Structure 1
Amino acid sequence: MSIRTEVRLPGATEPAERALGPDLARGFMLLFIALANTHFFLRSPVVFGGYPQDGTPVDAGVIWLLTTFVDGRAFPMFGLLFGYGVAQIVRRQQERGRWGVRRLLWRRSAVLVVVGLADAMLFFVGDILAAYGVLLFAGVWLIFWKDRWLLAVAVAFLALNAVPSDDLFTISRTGPDAAMLPPDLAGMFTDRIPAALFIAALGPIGFLCPFAVGLWAGRRRILERPEQHRRLLAIVAAGGLGAAVLGAQPIALLLAGVTTAPDQPALNWSAALHSTTGTLGGFGYAALIALLAVRLGRRRGPVTEAIVATGQRSMSCYLMQSVTWAVVFTPFLLDLSGTLTVTTTALLAAVTWAVTVLIADRMRRAGRRGPFETLVRRVTYRR
């Protein structure tokens, strides 16, 4: 009888040694990432803030739920977890007496940029991996900063993102542009290149606040040892999620058709409020899941194990989502952007996430890492 074993790469952490909280958070929040992305593919005579406005009352309810609990709330949490993971890498390298951590992280940055741009060109132009790679390339200069400077950077960029802008919220448009839904193979590349580069270059501005907070939290191992930080986590969960729900209402009620659009300055302020409180909501979600990890302890059922396996393979599972969106929505493939609704795309997102959870769990049972996690580790640690 042969037993399949997983090869340990130098510098990498064995799955059995990983803390529950961060992986559980990554796995669960991939569902929110899917929900946040799919509605942007939909065509309609009137699209407001990325949502078609000709749907049913059920669609309106789904729009309210997504705008309140998902949009602008999931990505900040991934930014925090990204910074947290970088802090873990730095700590492990220091514990092993290894230097050159900045070069190591720059290699990691390079592979994220390459894979992210490839994903943006081939499957989903809204890919954020390249933006994370650019963020890491610049963010390595923060890894040895004192805590007070990290938190100062976080506050400064949170304030920067709170400044209203005419570009924050689109009042009306007819639907996705050619970068999202390329009409042919040639247009897929020509239209997507500027959009992908724009997201990669400017995306880090929105992620720098949660990244800096993640570095700070990672130094204290708050998500790895949540039982030692229950009070802080409870305050962040209640305050962050409370602010996110309340701050979302001007936009959520507007997009759901409950209220009418105000003048442009008021609309810009509402969009800025939605974005800023969304960052706080991302922190709240991370804290809430860390508290859930305390309750679960070692009593992990099959569902928890499967979601954790998804979190451990979050990059591969995220890219599986991109392939799904390409097949379902691209005009020269299934071309369902004019057929599906907000409700059915939300169902598609949930089913897609569930399938990736099943695939990740099969990989776990087989003792295999995700293919892109393996790639990142090999490039990062040169093994």
Structure 2
Amino acid sequence: MKLTPTSLTERVEGLDFLRGIALLGIIIANMLHFHSPYAYMDPYTWFSTPGEQSAFHFIDVFVEASFYPLFAMLFGYGLNMQYEKSLKNHTPFAPFMARRMSWLLLFGILHALLIWFGDILFTYAIMGFVMIALVRIPKKWLFSLALVLYIVPSVLVYILLVFSRKINPNSLLDGFVDIHQIELAISAYAHGSFGEIFMFRLGEWFTFGVVGVFTSFFAVLPLMMLGAAFSKWKVVEKMYAMKGKLVVTMIVGITLGVLLKNVPYIDGPKFENIIIVQSTFGGPILAIGYAALLMLLWQIPFLKIVTKPFATLGRMAFTTYIMQSIIATLIFYSYGAGLYGKVDIVTGTWLAIGIFVIQLIAAQIWLSKFRIGPLEYVWRKLSYGKNFSNKEEKV
């Protein structure tokens, strides 16, 4: 049989809804890096006014590190759906997915080098290549392997960090602020030419992006594996029959997640509390709690109608993600409005919400005429190696 893309009637609308909500959390979290040299700050001491402190605390606990895990799990969920579709249609999965991930890898490199260093597509593509093999593992083994791959290295790193602190309390450089890098970032992004921005961005991408790929085998890949396992269990498709389990997951996930993410405020902003307890464990646990809550809300007819625009936006997640970077960098970088380093966290958050609202409206208009977003169409055309109509289907 010939390879064909998923039709609108085959889409799982609940997944698109989750993607749409995840994109809101992602732009709020990413906005910290768009408008300021956030990577080189100690945010627990940097923000001085009560308003900024409250805004950072809210983002740190309820947003940061809790929406990219959800997006990673959704990526794995969708990848397994494509795998099962290939089995059903007797079409080759590995060659097609390898081609699809190759193009995603290229998109990620272009995004990182030409737009924003915080790209995640490059990492997703690398992990996607690995998932081509792992997605074939039975769901129970895949789920268990994902937990082991995620938990064991993280616990070992936590023990190592605690042990290092006992030997030398100053070894982890808690609260370190890199003033030199902050000055370089402001000089490049707020005042530099495009070439100067490119060179600084290239250095940041190698530091945070390329090097970060190695840690992603223990941070991002297991989340994709969990998503693929959930897909094999058809969690989203069977959400209406799983209300009781979803309620328990929501309560436990949100309660435990919020508690773990507050540990730096309870036990102090120690390196191990921030990196391991808060981000590595608290973030994904809260993400799962959010997913359960959102699936419960999606089952309420009135709320399903009200939140339908998020599902529409979720159908063009790729385009939305890239456009968030383009819009934000045009606002903050020197070749745009040049507001880098001049916007506080509260203003930045409202800007993120404003950009998202505009994207929400734009998605409704675009998808009233076309089946998928423009970048989704290009990616699909390249992946399948042929043209498809992008006109809206009447169903």
TM-score, length of structure 1 as denominator length: 0.86
Cα distance change, pair 125–363 in 1 and its aligned pair in 2 (3 A): same
Q: How many Å apart are 1:64 and its aligned residue?
A: 1.0
Q: How does 1:166-181 map to 2 (within 5 A)?
A: 171-174=176-179, 176=182, 181=188
* 1:132 matches 2:136: no
Structure (1/2) with the larger helix percentage: 2
Counterpart selection for 1:227 from 240, 251, 254: 240
CA–CA distance in structure 2, aligned partners of residues 141 and 47 of structure 1: 37
> 1:148 maps to what in 2?
140
CA–CA distance in structure 2, aligned partners of residues 48 and 234 of structure 1: 38
Q: Is the 8 A contact 2:37 2:182 kept in 1?
A: no
Cα distance change, pair 103–10 in 1 and its aligned pair in 2 (3 A): closer
CA–CA distance in structure 2, aligned partners of residues 46 and 101 of structure 1: 39
> 1:191 maps to what in 2?
200
Q: How many Å apart are 1:55 and its aligned residue?
A: 4.0
* 1:246 matches 2:259: yes
Counterpart selection for 2:93 from 89, 96, 101: 101
Q: How many Å apart are 1:137 and its aligned residue?
A: 1.0
Structure 1 residues 199-218: Cα deviation after superposition (integer angstroms, max 9, x where no partner): 24336322112111101011
CA–CA distance in structure 1, aligned partners of residues 285 and 106 of structure 2: 30
Q: How does 1:360-371 map to 2 (within 5 A)?
A: 360-371=363-374
After alignment, is 319-328 or 148-157 more displaced? 148-157
Uncovered stretches (5+) of structure 1, i.e. residues with no partner: 1-8
CA–CA distance in structure 2, aligned partners of residues 203 and 177 of structure 1: 28
Q: How many Å apart are 1:244 and its aligned residue?
A: 1.5
Cα distance change, pair 44–356 in 1 and its aligned pair in 2 (3 A): closer
Amino-acid identity (%): 23
Q: How does 1:1-383 map to 2 (within 5 A)?
A: 11-43=4-36, 48-50=41-43, 53-98=46-91, 100-159=92-151, 160-162=153-155, 163-164=157-158, 171-174=176-179, 176=182, 181-182=188-189, 183-197=192-206, 199-200=209-210, 201-202=213-214, 204-205=216-217, 206-251=219-264, 253=265, 266-275=270-279, 276-296=281-301, 300-301=304-305, 303-383=306-386
Cα distance change, pair 300–247 in 1 and its aligned pair in 2 (3 A): closer
CA–CA distance in structure 1, aligned partners of residues 172 and 209 of structure 2: 14
Q: Is the 8 A contact 2:246 2:293 kept in 1?
A: yes
Cα distance change, pair 97–147 in 1 and its aligned pair in 2 (3 A): same
CA–CA distance in structure 2, aligned partners of residues 134 and 309 of structure 1: 27
SS at match of 1:337: coil
The amino acid across from 1:274 in the alignment is Q
Q: Is the 8 A contact 2:193 2:335 kept in 1?
A: yes
The amino acid across from 1:293 in the alignment is W
- Which consecutive aligned stretches of 4+ in structure 1 deviate over 6 angstroms post-superposition? 44-47, 166-169
Cα distance change, pair 49–141 in 1 and its aligned pair in 2 (3 A): farther
The amino acid across from 2:201 in the alignment is R
Structure 1 residues 12-64: Cα deviation after superposition (integer angstroms, max 9, x where no partner): 22234322221101001111001101112444899644577244211111111
The amino acid across from 1:360 in the alignment is A
Q: How many Å apart are 1:179 and its aligned residue?
A: 6.8
Q: Is the 8 A contact 1:132 1:204 kept in 2?
A: no
CA–CA distance in structure 1, aligned partners of residues 316 and 172 of structure 2: 34
Q: How many Å apart are 1:285 and its aligned residue?
A: 1.7
Q: Is the 8 A contact 2:139 2:233 kept in 1?
A: no
SS at match of 2:343: coil
Q: Is the 8 A contact 1:313 1:373 kept in 2?
A: yes
- C-alpha RMSD of matched pairs (Å): 2.8
Structure 1 residues 237-258: Cα deviation after superposition (integer angstroms, max 9, x where no partner): 222221210011133x38xxxx
Cα distance change, pair 124–356 in 1 and its aligned pair in 2 (3 A): same
Cα distance change, pair 280–370 in 1 and its aligned pair in 2 (3 A): same
Q: How many Å apart are 1:170 and its aligned residue?
A: 5.8
Structure 1 residues 175-206: Cα deviation after superposition (integer angstroms, max 9, x where no partner): 65757954322233333335435524336322
> 1:3 maps to what in 2?
none
CA–CA distance in structure 2, aligned partners of residues 316 and 204 of structure 1: 23
